[in-house]
Amino acid sequence: MKPIKLIVKTKSDSYPILIGSNIIKDLTLHLRKNSINFNKCLLIIDKNVPKKMISKITRSLKKKEISKFLFNANEKNKNLNNVNKILQVLLNKNFSRLDCVITVGGGITGDVGGFVASLYKRGLKFINIPTTLLSQVDSSVGGKTGVNTKEGKNLLGSFYQPKIVISDTEFLMSLPRREVICGYGEIFKHSLILNKVFYKYCNKNCFKILNLKSPYIEKAIFESCKIKKLVVEKDEKEKGMRKILNFGHTFAHAFEATLGYSQKLNHGEAVILGIVTSLNFSLEMKLIKPKEYNQIMQHILKLNLPSDIKKIFIPKKLETILSFMMKDKKNISERINLILLKKIGLTVINNEYDNQKIKKFLKKQLAN
C-alpha cells in the first residue's frame, strides 16, 4: 500500500506526514524524497518499541552515524532531568545544527525529543516516528513539545515543528487494547470538534478501527490528522482556534495530575473521561441539546469507553482536581477556561467559569 501523504504548512515550517503499513523499512528513501539530509542522528527510543522495528530503522539508516538513547517513557519521566541527560549525549558527541534527533515512541517520547531538539544549539533537525495510535493522531501534528513539573502537565515547553512524521501502522500491531482505545479517544475528539461527516464514519466503523483493520485504521489516522492540520495551520501558537483541540483536556490533565500520572489512568483514558465531563458540563450549561448529547454518549457507551469519574476518584479528591484545573495553561485569569461543545462539529472556546461553579458541578458528578 502506497503511503498516504499529508502536508502540514505553518508560518514557521512545512513538513509531510506519511501514513501507511511497513513504510519504516524505506525510511532513508522517504527522507531523500523529502530532501532531509544529515550525517549523524540520535535515536531516542521508547523501551517498549519492538526490537524488530528498531532493526528496520537502523538498517535503513546504515549509512548514517547512529547513537541511541533508550527512554523509559511514562509521564513521571517526562521531566527536565531526562531532557538534561539527552542534551548531554548530544554535547558529548558534538552534534551540530545540521544533525538530527529521531524519536521512536509514543507522545511522551516525541514531546521530550522534540523539546530537546528545540533547545540544543537553538534547534537541530527533528524527525518524529510515532509508534502509538494516540501519538500518530495527536502529538505528532502541530509541533507542541514539552515536559511536566510537579505543578502540572506540559507547563514547560516550546513550539517546534518536525522535518517529517512517519506514521507506520505496523507499530500498532504490538499495542495492548488499552493503548488502542486511548488513541481512538483522540480520533473521536477530532470528529466531535470539527467534522460531523467524520463522526458518522467513526460511528459506523468504530469496531473496525479499534481492531486496526485496513483501510479503516489508515483512513481514521488520515482524517484525524487532517482535522488537526487544518486547526494548526490557522493557529500555530494557540492564540485562538487551536484551543478547540483542548476539548476535554482541562479536566483530563487535572485528572492525570491528581493521580500523580499513575498507570491507573493513562493520558488517552483521561482525555475520554475529560470529554465526557465536558459534555456533561455543556449539557448543564444548556449549550448542547439533550438529543445530540445522548447520541454522543451512546457511541461512548457502546464501545465501553471510560465514562464515569466516580470509578476513578473519591469525593475528597475534588479539591485536588480543582487546584490543578486552576493552574491550567489556558487560564488567563482567576477563572477556569473550558472548551465546550454546542453540537457535533461545533465547539465554543473562551468559556470562563468561577471555580466555585466548577466545584459544585464536579461535586454533583462524583455524587451521582
The answer to whether 256 and 270 are in contact (CB under 8 A) is yes
Segments in the chain forming alpha helices (H): 27-33, 51-60, 80-92, 107-119, 133-137, 177-194, 196-210, 216-234, 249-258, 267-284, 290-302, 318-326, 355-367
- What is the mean predicted confidence (pLDDT) over 282-302? 96
Q: In the structure grid, which three cell numbers stand for residue 154, read together?
A: 506540559
Q: Is the pLDDT of residue 351 over 90?
A: no
Q: How confident is the model at residue 150 (pLDDT cuts 50, 70, 90)?
A: confident
Q: Is the pLDDT of residue 26 over 90?
A: yes
* CA–CA distance, 272 with 26 (Å, rounded to integer): 35
* CA–CA distance, 60 with 63 (Å, rounded to integer): 8
* CA–CA distance, 225 with 229 (Å, rounded to integer): 6
Q: Tell me, what's the pLDDT at 232?
A: 87
Candidate from 162-176, 198-212, 314-328 with smallest mean pLDDT: 314-328
- What is the mean predicted confidence (pLDDT) over 346-358? 90
Q: What is the C-alpha R_g of the chain?
A: 20
Residue 6 sits at φ, ψ, to 5 deg, of -130, 130
Q: Tell me, what's the pLDDT at 79?
A: 96
- pTM score of the predicted model: 0.90
The CB density around residue 244, as the number of other CB atoms within 10 Å, is 21
Q: Mind listing the pLDDT tens digit for each residue in 69-127?
A: 999 999 899 999 999 999 999 999 999 999 999 999 999 999 999 999 999 999 999 99
Q: Tell me, what's the pLDDT at 163?
A: 96
Q: Tell me, what's the pLDDT at 358?
A: 94
To the nearest whole percent, how much of the chain has pLDDT over 70? 99
Q: Is the pLDDT of residue 330 over 80?
A: no
| Beta-bridge partner residues of 338 | 351
Q: Tell me, what's the pLDDT at 201?
A: 97
Residue 300: partners with Cβ closer than 8 Å, 6 or more residues away: 188, 272, 275, 276, 307
* CA–CA distance, 241 with 235 (Å, rounded to integer): 6
Q: In the structure grid, which three cell numbers stand for residue 315, read together?
A: 469525593
- The mean pLDDT value of the chain amounts to 93
Q: Is the pLDDT of residue 331 over 80?
A: no
What domains can you pick out in the chain, each with its CATH number? 4-174 (3.40.50.1970), 177-367 (1.20.1090.10)
Is the sign of the CA dihedral 18, 23, 27, 31 positive or negative?
negative
* CA–CA distance, 35 with 15 (Å, rounded to integer): 11
**Higher-confidence position of 35 and 263:** 35
| Residue where the block lists cell 472548551 | 339
Q: How confident is the model at residue 1 (pLDDT cuts 50, 70, 90)?
A: low
The CB density around residue 300, as the number of other CB atoms within 10 Å, is 17
**CA nearest to 28, candidates 67, 53, 63, 69:** 63
Q: HSE, CB side, 13 Å, CA atoms: give it for residue 125.
A: 21
Q: Mind listing the pLDDT tens digit for each residue in 258-276?
A: 998 888 898 889 999 999 9
**CA nearest to 159, candidates 139, 135, 143:** 143
The CB density around residue 356, as the number of other CB atoms within 10 Å, is 9
To the nearest whole percent, how much of the chain has pLDDT over 90? 82
Q: Is the pLDDT of residue 240 over 90?
A: no
Cα dihedral 281, 286, 290, 294 in deg (nearest 10):
-20
Geometric angle at alpha carbon 295, from 292 and 313, rounded to 5°: 100
